[in-house]
Structure 1
Amino acid sequence: MQLAGSTTNLGLAMADSPHHDDAGKTLILSIKEDVINLKQKSEEVLQSIAFRAMIFFQIIAYGSYSILVHLCEENHAIAFSSTAMNFILEFVKLCFSFIGVIYSSTTIKFSPDLPQYVAWFRQSLPYSMPAILYFINNNLAVHMQLYMDPASYQILANFKIFTTAILYRLLIKHKLSRQQWFALSLLFFGGLAYSIGTIKNSSLTSKRSTTSSTQMREMYIHPFGIPMIAIYCTLSGLAGVYNEYILKKHYSESLHLQNLFLYSYGTILNFIPAMGSAIVALHTTRSFNPLRGFSFYTWLIVVTQALNGLFMSVVIKHSSNIIRLFVISFSLIVTAVLSYFIFHINFNIYFFISFVTMTCALSLYYS
């Protein structure tokens, strides 16, 4: 009887074993799926944190740019060559992009094959147009600082949002709602009111307070600064929209390769006038030094703007050019704070009116 019972139990155990195996396999598969899902969620969280960190850095970089340029002024003049600074800046970005292409691509081979170089050149041609626009704009942005204080520059730079939105509508056929049109109108008239009011005040500002960056006490805009900022914002909007169009049209291309094309043109365009101005300066200085006038603040501009450019290309390709405008808008707060503590600028009533107007306009536009 005992043997029979044992045999019966053994048979039942053997009969149940397939069910136990299935349950074990299901449990293992469930654990694997949980691990994969956890890994994916972790990657998404890390990507989100990295993206937010890039945005935060860009806000700081944009907000500090005009401050740093003013700190480089000597006797109401830019101490360094803007093309030399932008050449180094573009070359740094070019090096990062080149390294990125080498380490991320398994299909691109750098060989002295003439047809391959011809193919690369043709592939790079669309990037020449935004490179030319950025070349003009980046050098204009440096010299424009002589005609306005940092906070005024940052306020008026918000016109980029207006020009970019209009160009989005004209070139990419991006439709705007009535609320967005109202927001753009509010933004435009807010900036216009600020410009008119501050130009009037600039005539009352003493020469001492506008020619020395350490004695900048009042907000000011010289009349010549208005057409400069208008050209700057128009070219910036055109370059941003066109660059986004190219990046997304060739979305399958490596971002590093796209940046390599763009920064190659930027490096060449800035190299030629940088060397030319250094050669011309030989007659007066008796020494060839393209980096003449460079200071700690100049190199700080190079580092921050190089990283800013690389981060922005990631944002534009994988998100939207509107994020770039969001960064520009919030950088005004950084500029205002730094202007107050570094230059002790007294903000006029037009600044606060414009700040409130633009904040409302941006809130309406982005909502």
Structure 2
Amino acid sequence: MDDVDGVNSTAQKSLMIALFFLILQAFLSSFASIVNEFVFKKNYEESIHLQNSLFYVWGIVINIVCGLILHGTIPNVFKFLKNLNVLTVSIVLTNAIGGLSAASLLKYLSSLTKSYCAVVGMFISTFLSGIFFNTPIPFFFLVGAVLISVAIVIYTKSSQKNKEQNNQSKSRNELKTLKRI
């Protein structure tokens, strides 16, 4: 019995650690998205390409520092070039285009819209892989897709309602200003 309790205790600890890191990752991802949106909107006049380049430079600097701290040397970043082929280049280009579109979303819309777009992209790629590669789509994934779809509809309707209310209040304020004149 002691072995079973020890295994259960270890499993519970592992589950708690996994949940902690899952929540930490979700928090850091959300926080990073909000910070990115803040930076893009704060420097609205600057080009998205310049802002993205600065983000990438900071990413390179942070990776070099982490490499120095963890390994004592700068990792050889050119190892990946030996496996370079058309598929690799297409993946890099696709992700670069995705990064530019995410930057545009953050600059002109909100981080919530970007998150919804990422989720929709994940659903589309999963359904396409199910069609083209006969990959089974789990039931709970379909449940998640339905829930996210409902959330998108609710968010879109509330955004439209808020815009209409803002437009009506602006119109009322303009009418009051005109009446005063």
**Shared topology, TM-score over 0.5?**
yes
What residue is the counterpart of 2:11 in the other structure? Answer: none
Shift of 1:268: 2.8
CA pair 337-237 structure 1, distance change in 2 beyond 3 A: same
Give the counterpart letter for 2:143 in structure 1: I
- Return the offset for 1:331: 1.0
2:76 to 278, 282, 286: 278
Specify which of 127, 136, 140 is matched with residue 350 of structure 1: 140
Task: Give the corresponding residue for 1:240.
Answer: 33
2:119 paired residue number = 329
Q: How far 1:359 moved relative to its partner? A: 1.6
Give me the identity figure in percent. Answer: 26
Q: Shift in Å at residue 241 of structure 1?
A: 0.6
For residue 278 of structure 1, give the secondary structure of its aligned residue in structure 2.
coil
How far apart in 1 are the matches of 2:140 and 2:22? Answer: 18
Q: Are 1:364 and 2:139 matched, yes or no?
A: no
Give the 5 Å matches for 1:1-367. 229-270=22-63, 273=67, 276-278=74-76, 289-367=79-157
What does the per-residue CA deviation read over 1:39-69, in whole Å, with 9 as the maximum and x for residues that have no partner?
A: xxxxxxxxxxxxxxxxxxxxxxxxxxxxxxx
| Counterpart Cα distance in 1 of 2:122 and 2:52 | 27
Give the paired residue count: 137
Shift of 1:229: 4.9
State how far apart, in whole Å, the 1-side matches of 2:50 and 2:21 are. 33
Q: Report deviation, 1:250.
A: 2.6
Distance 1:254 1:340, change over 3 A: closer
Q: Mark the structure with the bigger radius of gyration.
A: 1
Residue 305 of structure 1: how far off its partner (Å): 0.9
Structure 1 residues 335 and 290: CA distance shift in structure 2, 3 A? closer
Instruction: Quote the Cα distance in structure 2 between the aligned partners of 1:322 and 1:354.
Output: 17
Letter in 2 for 1:312: A
User: 2:38 & 2:94 partners in 1: Cα distance?
Assistant: 25
Structure 1 runs not aligned, ≥5 long: 1-222, 280-287
> Would the aligned equivalents of 2:40 and 2:51 in 1 still touch at CA under 8 Å?
yes
Residue identity opposite 2:34 in structure 1: V
What is the CA–CA distance in structure 2 between the aligned matches of 1:344 and 1:251, rounded to whole Å?
44
Structure 2 Cα separation of the partners of residues 337 and 225 of structure 1:
28
**Which 10-residue stretch deviates more, 306-315 or 269-278?**
269-278
- CA positional deviation for 1:295: 4.7
Query: Structure 2 unaligned runs (5+)?
Result: 1-14, 158-181
1:292 to 1:268, Cα distance in 2 relative to 1, 3 A: farther
Q: Which amino acid aligns with 1:239?
A: A
Q: 1:298 to 1:228 in 2, by over 3 A?
A: farther
Residue in 1 aligned with 2:164?
A: none
RMSD value over aligned CA atoms?
3.2
- Find the counterpart in structure 1 of residue 4 from structure 2: none
